[in-house]
Amino acid sequence: MSNVRNVFAEVGIPEEQINARLEEIKQQFFFGEDSFYHESGDMAYLEDTGNYDARTEGMSYGMMICVQLGMKEEFDKIWKWAKTNMYLEEGKNEGYFAWSCKPDGTKNAYGAAPDGEEFFIMALLFASHRFGDGEGIYNYSAEAKKILEAVLHKGENGREGKPMFNRDNKLVLFVAGSDYSDPSYHLPHFYELWAEWGNEKDKEFWKDAAKISREYLIKACHPVTGFSSEYAEFDGSPMNRPLDWAKERHNWFFSDSYRTVANIGLDYLWFGKDEGQCVAAKNIQRALLEDMRNDSYHIYEIDGTVAEETARHPVAITATVAQSVLASDLDDIAVEWVKKFFDTPLRTGDRRYYDNCLYMFAYLALSGNYRIW
Q: Where are the beta strands (DSSP E) in 305-373?
A: 306-308
Catalytic residue among 53, 57, 117, 192: 57
Q: Specify whether the CB–CB gap between 31 and 88 falls below 8 A.
A: no
Beta-strand runs (E) in 8-150: 37-40, 43-48, 53-55, 100-101
Reply yes or no on whether 256 is catalytic.
Answer: yes
90 by Cβ neighbours in 10 Å (0-12 / 13-18 / 19+) ranks as: exposed
In the beta sheet, which residues pair with residue 53? Answer: 48
The size of the chain, in residues, is 373
Q: Cα separation of 75 and 60, whole Å?
A: 10
Q: Would you tell me the crossing angle of helices 314-324 and 279-287 to the nearest 10 degrees?
A: 140
Q: Is 31 exposed, middle or buried (0-12, 13-18, 19+ CB in 10 A)?
A: exposed
Catalytic residue selected from 118, 149, 192, 256: 256
Whether 244 and 308 have beta carbons less than 8 Å apart is answered as no
Paired with 181 in beta bridges are 232
Cβ partners under 8 Å of residue 24, min gap 6:
none
Q: How far apart are the first and last CA of the chain?
A: 14
Q: Which of helix, strand or coil describes residue 101?
A: strand
Q: Which residues are catalytic?
A: 57, 256
